[in-house]
């Protein structure tokens, strides 16, 4: 059986940041702790005036190719996952390949290019496409590049404005990967939902509270589906669980539900029984409402236990470090969570080779997917090459007026003239609109 998975990852963060507790909250008359403690966010990344989904994606992909010593001929697929596309026909991957062709001698004329759409889960689906392509032996020895790139902007004044972000993740999918091998087993939870959508509009229509319930419901279905084809999960078998992270507070809820599920009928449930009782079982209650009340009560007690808190600190918290600093990157978000966990392990000198992670992806509309990943020998060498800490430290710190200007610059319905806040250096930049309304890009040395 071929081993297929993620060989390497690169992350490109938008070059601007908005400090949510200090800059955004006071303007909205909100308590900064809503961000620090509730949503779990400190900063959001924003694109500078010359950045967009193409530049961020192309810059991440170029860094990936340079670092891995790859030429265009080594790449057989370029798949872009985004929910911020500006064209209903021409895929963003053609723009990204066009950018890369400006700086390499060869071209990507024999690579299959596409664009995947299913809200935030599309990045994971693109990895699946690449995985299947390699497993099927159709890759002619070549690798695939998956780029998950988004400017996650919401209409000003909407509830989602608190959870914005922008950035790109480029992933190299290969046979015998250095970083993580993907399980063949997958679980899905998928249903026609109207929680978050963009019906031919740039900014989402979102029912925030409902979107959170749908996230949890679909994730639960996906876990059950995964267990039906794979194995029953146990907290001690999983080193990390990177989830789609629209904001860390969402993952706090998913983590608690997941833990309750995993410990049911295990020695952990028995051990906790003296302190908080056993988990309510549906059959023991006369109606659904009383059962739900009992579950809520159990969960409230469960989250206070030392056992849960130390599991959360070790297994979930390390996945959230980058998200707290960048906000929601939609399609890139779960891949930022994986990178965050691996980065944490490298910094703490934790030996991960051979360990398992469970990855929980989610896209509104709605679908969740669960699969397992086994960490491979080269993970540390790969993850230590990320420059994300330096990128985050170098971001320009926007004041509130500047934030509103940047939001307007990236609003497709507005034309505003705003000076850039940072100076591009060795990267692709947006260079204007062409005669067929196409976007143009150039490489700045």
Residues that bind ligand CAA (CB under 6 A): 31, 33-34, 37-39, 120, 159-160, 162-163, 196, 206, 208-209, 211-212, 215, 244, 246, 249-250, 328, 330, 362, 364
Respond yes or no on whether the N-terminal peptide bond of residue 366 is cis (omega within 30° of 0). Answer: yes
Residue tagged 């400090």 (tokens): 19
| Residue (125 or 174) nearer to ligand CAA, CB | 125
Q: Tell me the CA distances in angstroms from 3 to 7, 111, 373, one per residue in order.
A: 11, 22, 11
Of 10, 120, 221, 407, catalytic:
120
At its nearest, how many Å lie between ligand CAA and the CB of residue 205? 11
Residue tagged 């990936």 (tokens): 64
- Helix ranges (H only) for 230-320 are 248-263, 267-276, 288-302, 306-315
CB 214 within 8 A of CB 254: no
Q: Tell which phi-psi region holds residue 432, choosing left (phi > 0), alpha (psi between -120 and 50) or beta.
A: left
At its nearest, how many Å lie between ligand CAA and the CB of residue 38? 2
CB 175 within 8 A of CB 2: yes
| Residue (221 or 427) nearer to ligand CAA, CB | 221
At its nearest, how many Å lie between ligand CAA and the CB of residue 252? 7
Count Cβ atoms below 10 Å from residue 25 Cβ, excluding itself. 18
Q: Tell me the CA distances in angstroms from 424 to 49, 100, 147, 230, 380, one per residue in order.
A: 11, 17, 21, 47, 30
At its nearest, how many Å lie between ligand CAA and the CB of residue 77? 25
99 included as an active-site residue: no
| Residue (135 or 198) nearer to ligand CAA, CB | 198
371 included as an active-site residue: no
Count Cβ atoms below 10 Å from residue 122 Cβ, excluding itself. 25
- Convert 8-20 to b/e letters by CB count within 10 Å (16 or more is b): bbbbbbbbbbbbb
CA-CA-CA-CA torsion sign (158, 80, 392, 355): positive
| Residue (2 or 28) nearer to ligand CAA, CB | 28
CB 353 within 8 A of CB 203: no
| Residue (96 or 250) nearer to ligand CAA, CB | 250
| Residue (53 or 352) nearer to ligand CAA, CB | 53
At its nearest, how many Å lie between ligand CAA and the CB of residue 154? 7
Residue 164's nearest CA partner among 317, 368, 16, 316 is 16
At its nearest, how many Å lie between ligand CAA and the CB of residue 73? 36
Give me the count of residues in the chain.
Answer: 445
| Residue (184 or 194) nearer to ligand CAA, CB | 194
Report the distance separating Cα 260 and Cα 203, nearest Å.
35
Of 115, 221, 244, 407, catalytic:
244
At its nearest, how many Å lie between ligand CAA and the CB of residue 35? 8
244 included as an active-site residue: yes
At its nearest, how many Å lie between ligand CAA and the CB of residue 123? 11
Strand segments (E) across 301-386: 356-363, 367-375
Report the distance separating Cα 413 and Cα 200, nearest Å.
13
Of 51, 83, 373, 427, catalytic:
83
Report the distance separating Cα 360 and Cα 357, nearest Å.
10
| Residue (76 or 242) nearer to ligand CAA, CB | 242
| Residue (155 or 294) nearer to ligand CAA, CB | 155
Report the distance separating Cα 96 and Cα 79, nearest Å.
10
Residue number of the CB atom closest to ligand CAA = 38
At its nearest, how many Å lie between ligand CAA and the CB of residue 234? 26
Contacts of 44 (CB under 8 A, 6+ apart): 17, 18, 20, 163, 164, 165, 166, 326, 327, 328
Residues acting as catalytic residues: 83, 120, 244
């Amino acid at each position: 059986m071929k081993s297929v998975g993620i060989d390497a990852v690169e992350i490109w963060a938008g070059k601007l940041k908005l400090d949510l507790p200090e800059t955004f909250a006071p303007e909205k008359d909100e308590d900064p702790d809503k961000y620090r403690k509730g949503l779990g966010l400190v900063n959001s990344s924003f694109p500078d005036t010359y950045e967009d989904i193409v530049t961020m994606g192309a810059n991440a992909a170029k860094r990936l190719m340079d670092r891995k010593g790859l030429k265009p001929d080594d790449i057989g697929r370029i798949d872009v996952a985004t929910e911020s596309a500006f064209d209903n026909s021409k895929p963003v991957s053609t723009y990204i390949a066009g950018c890369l062709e400006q700086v390499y001698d060869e071209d990507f004329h024999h690579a299959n290019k596409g664009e995947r759409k299913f809200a935030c889960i599309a990045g994971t689906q693109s990895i699946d496409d690449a995985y299947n392509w390699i497993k099927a032996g159709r890759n002619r020895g070549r690798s695939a590049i998956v780029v998950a790139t988004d400017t996650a902007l919401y209409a000003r004044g909407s509830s989602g404005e608190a959870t914005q972000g922008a950035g790109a993740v480029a992933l190299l999918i290969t046979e015998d990967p250095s970083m993580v091998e993907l399980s063949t087993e997958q679980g899905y939870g998928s249903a026609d939902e109207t929680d978050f959508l963009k019906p031919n509009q740039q900014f989402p229509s979102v029912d925030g509270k409902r979107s959170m319930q749908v996230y949890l419901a679909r994730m639960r279905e996906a876990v059950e589906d995964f267990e039906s084809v794979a194995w029953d999960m146990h907290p001690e078998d999983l080193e990390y669980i990177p989830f789609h992270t629209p904001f860390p507070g969402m993952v706090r809820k998913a983590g608690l539900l997941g833990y309750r599920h995993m410990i049911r009928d295990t020695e952990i449930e028995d051990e906790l029984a003296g302190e908080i009782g056993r988990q309510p079982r549906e059959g023991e209650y006369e109606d659904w409402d009383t059962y739900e009340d009992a579950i809520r009560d159990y969960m409230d007690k469960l989250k206070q236990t030392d056992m849960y808190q130390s599991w959360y600190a070790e297994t979930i918290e390390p996945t959230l470090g980058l998200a707290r600093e960048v906000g929601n990157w939609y399609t890139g978000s779960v891949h930022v969570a994986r990178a965050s966990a691996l980065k944490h392990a490298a910094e703490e000198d934790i030996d991960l080779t051979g360990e398992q992670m469970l990855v929980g992806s989610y896209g509104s509309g709605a679908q969740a997917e669960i699969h397992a990943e086994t960490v491979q020998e080269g993970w540390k060498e790969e993850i230590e090459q990320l420059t994300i800490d330096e990128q985050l430290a170098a971001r320009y710190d926007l004041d509130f007026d500047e934030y509103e200007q940047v939001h307007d610059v990236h609003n497709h319905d507005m034309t505003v003239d705003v000076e850039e806040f940072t100076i591009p250096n060795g990267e692709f930049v947006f260079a204007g609109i062409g005669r067929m309304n196409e976007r143009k890009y150039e490489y700045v040395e």
